[in-house]
Amino acid sequence: MCGIVGYVGARAAQPLLMEGLRRLEYRGYDSAGIAVAEGGRLSVAKRKGKVRELDAALPAAGFSGAVGIAHTRWATHGEPSDANAHPHLDATGRIGVVHNGIIENAAALKQRLAAEGVTFASETDTEVLAHLIARRPEPSLVEAVRAVLAEVKGAYGLAVIDAARPGALVAARNGGPVVVGVGEGEGFIASDAAALMGHARSIAHLDDGELAEVRADGFTVFTLEGTQTVKALSELSGDALALEKGDYAHFMRKEIDEQPAAVRRTLLGRFDRRFATAHLGGIEMAAREMLDIRRVKILGCGSACHAGMVGAHLIEQLARIPAHAEPASEFRYRNPVIEPDTLYVAVSQSGETFDTLAAIQEVKRKGGRVLGIVNAVGSTIARECGRGVYLHAGAEVAVVSTKTFTSTCTAFALLALQLGRVRDLSAAAGARLVAGLDALPDQIAGIIAREAELAALSARLAGAEHAYFLGRAASFPIAVEGALKLKEVSYLHAEAYAASELKHGPLALISPDTPTVMLLPDDDLLAKNLSTVAEVRTRGGPVLAVTQPGVSLEGVEAAFAVPACEPELAPLLLNIPLQLIAYQVAQGLGRDIDQPRNLAKSVTVE
């Protein structure tokens, strides 16, 4: 969601802040702004639209100050506009605030300030913070911010600058991710460490209820009660080049291409070939503890939940443990029964998804045990879970998930294999699956190399207003994910159904104008799936198939075959053509592929 960057040091702040904003564009936003302290005042520019609009609005000579904050906004309070863009200032223009999250008692605070004569320049909840901080008498900025946050209810990640006290910035966190960076005689603030790559040497993650005073010579962290705390620094790893498109037109296409390497990294060092099993050291569970598991509950949002659905099938197939995936956003709003013999698995690409984090905290509050499957090292969910699996898929910049979805499904295959071998899965079956997983990267690369063969399927979908995706059993989650991808990047209406449910209602929607994408793996359900194809064709519905070699197809308008593989792993391969189809359709329709309208990469508010 919204992005924050802050800098204090000796260099000109503006180029560093603008570079940070460009690296945070993937999070999704509708406006951007910057404030730099120079000559005892804040120089501010902010614009509705993309960072390029903000760049064009900056003065030709640029801002010269060495301390500043910047922001990309995803609208919550107030429509996208220049006035509602961050940073927000107090009446004198001395205090500047950028903020991710929602201030729940903003209306009451605004009413109080208005009664005291304050005039507001925006419709946002954030502006309230700037006015409150400016009115505090505390001698330091961090003390003033701490006093104001004692009055505030809601979620926030924020950075504050004071033109009258430009020696330090203040950051604070309660629900919204914030990292503090340390460089050579300079300090940084960001909502995502990606903004600091190539500049900060090391970073520290703030926890909820903490503030940081960030200076050029270091930083100090306090609790909201004023107690000073010690934060461990970790090296800022990662390649800044991974955040560049290179020769690709879009990050989404680049990240589709990166999937073979991403899957290899997810698999690397995680096979115990002697015993034909997987070894996920990060889950920190002995065989006896695994045997005690009676149920697995997987929690995630969006594509993470769909990957969890794939994982649930794999765990039931290989380990014979009842498993179920559900949206973390729904789980947290009911009063879930937390069982001591249930293993909860939280899935998040960013490791900052607010709904998933809240679900984890609910499970832990009731004594449950939670593993994390996360891509972002050191993220909030990774730290909250304490144990789990890092995907090592690399940075994913496009809003829609491709390589992290595939890597998450791969991680679930490893987890299912490890749980299965502890139970009743034979060594022969384990060896078969290890070989199948070994083959995945090259098979994925082969599918991507045949992208041109998907043109007929993509063209058929691009010309329709509605489309249906059908899959049965383990392929159903892939149908759901395929429909989501098409919706996200092309804005076409797509629905996914379990093929077995077609005659229980959705068959009424089939018509010659509504193509159906049917997933047809060559497995023991093939005959039933071909019967579903016949049902669609009988009603005049065109069928597009993603299948495997050797499947005899009648009445199918266009088809694409993925390689033969172990049956349990077929969903991972069937997924790749659906990603490419969504990309091709969106490209043909001229959509904003990397930053689809209304969407954010990491949803960190309710």
As a whole number of angstroms, the distance between CA 229 and CA 349 comes to 29
Q: What angle do CA 474, 581, 247 make, to 5 degrees?
A: 120
Catalytic entry in 2, 385, 409, 565: 2
Bridge partners, 288 (sequence order):
none
Q: Are 497 and 468 in contact (CB under 8 A)?
A: yes
Distances (CA, A) of 290 to 314, 330, 385: 16, 27, 17
DSSP designation for 450? T
305 catalytically annotated: no
Question: Prior bond to 87 cis, omega within 30?
Answer: yes
What single-letter DSSP state applies at residue 371? E
Whether the CB-CB separation of 508 and 536 falls below 8 Å is answered with no
Active site (annotated) includes residue 485: no
DSSP 226-246: S-EE----EE--S-GGGGS-T
Q: What's the token pair of residue 200?
A: 């900060």
Alpha carbon distance 525, 482 (integer Å)? 20
| 406 and 572 Cβ atoms separated by less than 8 Å | yes
Sign of the CA dihedral 537, 540, 541, 546?
Answer: positive
Q: 112, 61, 65, 119: which is closest to 89 by C-alpha?
A: 119
- Cα separation, 327 vs 548, in Å, equals 30
298 close to 323: Cβ distance less than 8 angstroms: yes
Residue 146 CA, distance from chain mean position: 30
For tokens 């999704």, the residue is 28
Task: Name the nearest CA neighbour of 256 among 374, 410, 435, 393.
Answer: 393
Pairing status of strand 295-300 against strand 277-278: unpaired
C-alpha to C-alpha distance for 506 and 521, rounded to whole angstroms: 22
Rounded Cα–Cα distance for residues 488 and 595 (Å): 9
Closest CA to 375 of 391, 359, 363: 391
As annotated, the active-site residues are 2, 601
